[in-house]
C-alpha cells in the first residue's frame, strides 16, 4: 500500500522541519508495526506463547534505542525485516509538503494515517504552544494514547529495559506527535493507492 500525506503549510518548510516531519511519519510507522504486529510481539493465547520470546522482543527494542532517533538517520530499527520497511518520498512545496509512504504492512500504515488525522483534529487546541507544552498536551490525548502510547507502554511493561531506555522510547513517540503538529502546518489530508509488487518510489528506505 502507498499512502500520500499532504501537510498544508503557512510557507515552505525549512530543512529541519521537513526532516522532522518525514522522520515523524517513519517513526510512527515503526511504532505501529512493532506494537501491533504479532511477529514483533510476545503474548499468551490459550496458554501458548504466540510470537517472539520476551528476550527477543527486548533485544528488538533495545537495538532501536542504541541506534537512536536522530532525524538524519536513514535506517529503520535494526531488527525489522526488510519486507516490513517503509519507503518514503518527500516533496516540499511553497504552501505544502507531501510525504508518500509505501509499505506492505497495511495495518501499520493505516494506523499512521489515523494518528495524523487525529493530529489535524486537535491542531487548534495546541496552536501557539511551545514544543514542550504541545508534547504534554498531545501525550494526554485519549486517542493518541490508544493509537500510540498505550500499545508502547504495554510492550515496555512486558520487557526489562532500563528506565532511561524506556523513557527514550516514550520520548521518541511523543516527539513524533510534536513534529506532525508543527506550528507552520495548517492542514492535513491523505489519499491511498495500492503498492505495486516492485517498489515504485524513488526515495529513502528507513
82-93 confidence digits (pLDDT tens): 999 999 999 999
Cell numbers 491542531 correspond to: 123
Report helix, strand and coil shares of the chain as percent, to nearest 5.
Answer: 50, 20, 30
E strand or H helix at 30: helix 15-36
> For residues 128-141, b (16+ Cβ closer than 10 Å) or e, as one string?
ebeeeebbebbbeb
Whether residue 205 is predicted with pLDDT greater than 70 in this model: the reply is no
pLDDT given for residue 44 in this prediction: 55
pLDDT given for residue 48 in this prediction: 56
pTM of this structure: 0.91
Determine contact, residues 29/86, Cβ cutoff 8 Å.
yes
pLDDT given for residue 45 in this prediction: 53
Residue 194: band (very low, low, confident or very high) from pLDDT cuts 50, 70, 90: low
Supply the mean pLDDT for the chain: 91
Amino acid at each position: 500500500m502507498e499512502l500520500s500525506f499532504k501537510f498544508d503549510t503557512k510557507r515552505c518548510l525549512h530543512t529541519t522541519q521537513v526532516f522532522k516531519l518525514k522522520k515523524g511519519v517513519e517513526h510512527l510507522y515503526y511504532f505501529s508495526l512493532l506494537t501491533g504486529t504479532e511477529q514483533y510481539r510476545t503474548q499468551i493465547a490459550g496458554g501458548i506463547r504466540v510470537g517472539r520470546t520476551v528476550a527477543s522482543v527486548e533485544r528488538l527494542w533495545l537495538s532501536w534505542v542504541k541506534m537512536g532517533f536522530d532525524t538524519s538517520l536513514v535506517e529503520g530499527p535494526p531488527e525489522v525485516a526488510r519486507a516490513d520497511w517503509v519507503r518514503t518520498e518527500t516533496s516540499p512545496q511553497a504552501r505544502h509538503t507531501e510525504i508518500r509512504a509505501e509499505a506492505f504492512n497495511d495495518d501499520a500504515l493505516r494506523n499512521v494515517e489515523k494518528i495524523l488525522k487525529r493530529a489535524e483534529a486537535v491542531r487548534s487546541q495546541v496552536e501557539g504552544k511551545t514544543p514542550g507544552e504541545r508534547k504534554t498536551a498531545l501525550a494526554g490525548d485519549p486517542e493518541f494514547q490508544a493509537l500510540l502510547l498505550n500499545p508502547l507502554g504495554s510492550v515496555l511493561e512486558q520487557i526489562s529495559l532500563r528506565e532511561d531506555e524506556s523513557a527514550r522510547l516514550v520520548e521518541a513517540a511523543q516527539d513524533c506527535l510534536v513534529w506532525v503538529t508543527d506550528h507552520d502546518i495548517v492542514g492535513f489530508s491523505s489519499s491511498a493507492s495500492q503498492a505495486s509488487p516492485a517498489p515504485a518510489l524513488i526515495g529513502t528506505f528507513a
